[in-house]
Amino acid sequence: MTACFNNSDDDNDMNYARLVDKDAEFIGKGIKVGFADAKWDWYLPDLNSTAQMISKKYVRRSNQDSADYLRSFSIKDDIGFVWKWVSDETEIFLIYTFMGDNGYYVRTLHNTHGITVDEAILATYYDSEFSAALESFSREKWIISDPSDLGYAPESLGFLGEEIYYNRSENFKIFDGRIATLSTAHIKSANNRYYACPNSYSEELQSCILLPQEFEQVLAGSGYSFEHISDQHMVFQIKVELSENKSIKRVLSGAIFDYDYYDTKKVYYKWPIPKGYLAEGVNTAIQYFQSD
């Protein structure tokens, strides 16, 4: 008998918790894990940039120096994303799990027993659950590791962009090609250049980051002038590609919106992720955004 579940059902989380046992007898039962809402795909370029670096720097590095994106997932109210590569002859899963707005963890799973990607998701998720209860799987059919010592951690969803402004964590390495999101950027102008700033309260630019010249094209394409954006207190959300010295070398995607804490009144303009990046064509869709 095969037990298959799709977490669109209300009681699905209870099924997972009941089926994933400490002896790992759930392996081979065909359990399926549901996908995260497609709105979260907008974060894929960010996570893909760090996943590729981890695949190159991990102790069991990829034979091809790259990782393949597999899928998203949703368990309880948590979401996550999975990449895969082969090291020698062993399949390695890299799994990002976000717990609400403030928490996340990153795990690798060495697939030594030919388990499925759904089973790998459940193994890493409930390994964390069991560990929190001072327990662990008693019969492991895999090797789970924490690659955080490499320094390629993401940011929690509720604090996107803060590490770029303030660089508070040594685990948030900035490297050439890293992609990140400034979730509520206030745009300022000085010396005919534009800057992304964490707030609008100060005229000083110490915490602000210079935007590349192409941002002028984004502004022109929106149909709104800088003066109008400033007068109306409009805010940008922008996905950027960084260089290793922390500078922004390209603005990839984003939106201009009217923002009051976590209440988005209106999205005025948005432009999608360009070709050549994971999730190309996807528009920004942060959870508190309202449709036009």
Nearest to 179 by CA among 93, 36, 277, 272: 277
CA distance 84 to 241: 23
The DSSP secondary structure of 82-136, one letter per residue, reads EEEEEETTEEEEEEEEEETTTEEEEEEEEETT---HHHHHHHHHHHHHHHHTT--
pLDDT of residue 291: 38
CA distance 48 to 60: 18
CA distance 199 to 203: 10
Long-range contacts (CB closer than 8 Å, 24 or more residues apart) made by 84-89 = 84/117, 85/55, 86/62, 87/58, 87/60, 87/61, 87/62, 87/63, 88/60, 88/63
pLDDT of residue 11: 42
The single-letter DSSP state of residue 197 is: E
CA distance 274 to 146: 32
CA distance 10 to 274: 36
The single-letter DSSP state of residue 191 is: T
pLDDT of residue 3: 38
pLDDT of residue 284: 74
pLDDT of residue 262: 59
pLDDT of residue 8: 44
pLDDT of residue 128: 77
Per-residue pLDDT 10s for the chain (292 aa) are: 333 434 444 444 557 888 888 888 899 999 999 999 998 999 999 999 999 999 999 999 999 999 999 999 999 889 999 999 999 999 999 999 999 888 999 999 999 999 999 999 999 999 877 665 546 677 678 999 999 999 999 999 888 898 999 888 888 999 999 999 998 899 999 988 999 999 887 677 888 999 999 999 999 999 999 999 988 889 999 999 999 998 999 999 999 988 765 566 688 999 999 999 999 999 875 544 443 3
CA distance 272 to 270: 7
CA angle 197, 178, 219 (to 5 degrees): 45
